[in-house]
Amino acid sequence: MTTTSAADVEQHTGGGDAAPSLRADNVTIKFGGLVAVNDVSFVIPKNGIVSLIGPNGAGKTTFFNILTGLYKPTSGYVELGGVEVTGRSPHKIAQLGLARTFQNIRLFNLMTAEENVMVAMHSHLKTGIIGTVLGSPRKRREEREARDFAAELLEYVGIGRTRYEYARNLSYGDQRRLEVARALALRPKVLLLDEPTAGMNPQESAVFTDFVHRIRDEKQISVLLIEHDMSVVMRVSERITVLDRGEVIAQGGPDDIRRNERVVEAYLGKSGTEQAGGAL
Ligand SMILES: Nc1ncnc2c1ncn2[C@@H]1O[C@H](COP(=O)(O)OP(=O)(O)O)[C@@H](O)[C@H]1O
Ligand SMILES: [Mg+2]
């Protein structure tokens, strides 16, 4: 055989028959004169765990906001499970299988943990306003199923005991878990976690890392994390993409990234190379 088919190339790049869960091609967004995300191309493989890292202000959260539909990119293309979602509404993109947590926890403080999870399911419930007013049997059944599923998810993330507590009374770590339960309520195919271990101690972070693996393995969900804690990034990620000033400066496995000079420089400047070796 003298020619290389597309299938051969796929094999070599690890593509095989599993299309990526999410793909972004040449995504750019400008805010006035600032190019916050510049020509970023990126893939979340099916059932992969990948991370997006980079110094503060690199454009990580902005890129998340494009993927989830909060921002419309100036140019570029985003595809979720083979369907183009560029510029679609967050609601629609969530329905198509993308769920997220926020860098700053966003929970309904005066709702219980269970209610916070149920609110997320609402778009999936079939009964409309008529069913609600009349309290139809179907409505009651859906409500009961939603409650059961919420309770199951709270157990799954390890905070079943908080079911009837107000979200604001939960510990910080438990609020982070509640956010994950709420994201899982959408039955997503892809889960985006924005700095999920922020504010956790090293032990809590380690537990969380294992938990991310469990979610992927047991629920067959692909995961993209933004993470500032390098020990978490290196432990959890199969592939890492590094952003600096809106641009991808490196992409690869943990060992490639740890040794990458541009990455070390981006984090600490040239003079900090030695120190960075330790940090990364
Ligand atoms: N809505 C917005 N309007 C204007 N500038 C923004 C907006 N959102 C983010 N930015 C800017 O884009 C850059 C990237 O920010 P961000 O994505 O939050 O970085 P990161 O999450 O990597 O720390 C920053 O300079 C930030 O000020
Ligand atoms: Mg951010």
| Residue 278 reports pLDDT greater than 50 | no
Inside any domain, residue 26 = yes
CB 185 less than 6 A from any atom of ligand 1: no
For residue 65 and ligand 1, the question of a CB distance below 6 A is answered with no
Nearest ligand to the C-alpha atom of residue 103: 2
Strand extents, DSSP E, the chain: 22-31, 34-44, 49-53, 75-80, 83-84, 98-100, 190-194, 222-226, 239-244, 247-252
* Shortest-distance ligand to the CA of residue 193: 2
Give yes or no for residue 60 CB within 6 A of ligand 1.
Answer: yes
Sign of CA dihedral 214, 162, 112, 125: positive
Last residue of a domain, one of 187, 206, 230: 187
What are the residues whose beta carbons fall under 8 Å from the beta carbon of 20, sequence distance 6 or more?
43, 44, 45, 46
Taking residues 224-247, report their average pLDDT.
93
Q: Please list, residue by residue across 77-106, b when 16 or more beta carbons sit within 10 angstroms of its beta carbon and e when fewer do.
A: ebbbbeeebbebeeeebbebbbbbbbbebe
Same-domain status, 27 and 140: no
Per DSSP, the chain holds a count of helices (H) and strands (E) of: 12, 10
- Taking the centre of ligand 1 as the mean of its atom positions, its distance from the CA of residue 59, in whole angstroms, is 6
pTM exceeding the 0.75 threshold for the entire prediction: yes
Assigned domain for 272 exists: no
- Residue 39, pLDDT above cutoff 90: yes
Residue 260 maps to a domain: no
**Does 135 lie in the same domain as 92?**
no
Same domain, 93 and 192: yes
Q: Are residues 209 and 145 part of one domain?
A: no
Q: Is 57's C-beta closer than 6 angstroms to any atom of ligand 1?
A: yes
Percent share of the chain, pLDDT over 90: 65
Domain count across the chain: 2
Which structural domain, as residue segments, surrounds residue 222?
A: 16-97+188-254
> Which residues crowd ion ligand 2, with CB under 5 Å?
60-61, 103
Q: Within this chain, do residues 122 and 242 fall inside the same structural domain, yes or no? A: no
Mean pLDDT score, 106-118 = 93
Confidence of residue 136 (pLDDT cuts 50, 70, 90): confident
Q: How far is the CA of 65 from the centre of ligand 2 (A)?
A: 10
| Cα(63)–Cα(73) distance, integer angstroms | 9
Give yes or no for residue 230 having a pLDDT over 70.
Answer: yes
Please, which residues have CB within 8 angstroms of residue 179's CB and are 6 or more apart in sequence?
A: 101, 102, 105, 106, 107
pLDDT band at 105 (very low <50, low <70, confident <90, very high): confident
**From the CB of 94, is ligand 1 less than 6 Å away?**
no
- Distance, first Cα to last Cα, the chain: 44
Would you say residue 124 has pLDDT above 70? no
pLDDT digits (tens, 9 = 90+) for 62-75: 999 999 999 999 99
Least confident piece of the model among 178-182, 196-200, 209-213, 216-220: 196-200
Same domain, 164 and 205: no
Residue type, 81: G
In this predicted model, what pLDDT tens digit does every residue of 152-190 receive, in sequence order? 999 999 999 999 999 999 998 899 999 999 999 999 999
- Answer whether residue 5 is part of any domain: no
Given a cut of 90, whether residue 7 has pLDDT beyond it is: no
Closest atom of ligand 1 relative to the 54 alpha carbon? 22
Distances, alpha carbon 268 to alpha carbons 197, 200, 226, 235, 240, in Å: 21, 23, 19, 21, 18
Domain membership flag for residue 9: no
Q: Is residue 228 domain-resident?
A: yes
For residues 140-163, average pLDDT: 94
245 Cα to the center of ligand 1, angstroms: 10
- Of the listed ligands, the closest to the CA of 63 is 1
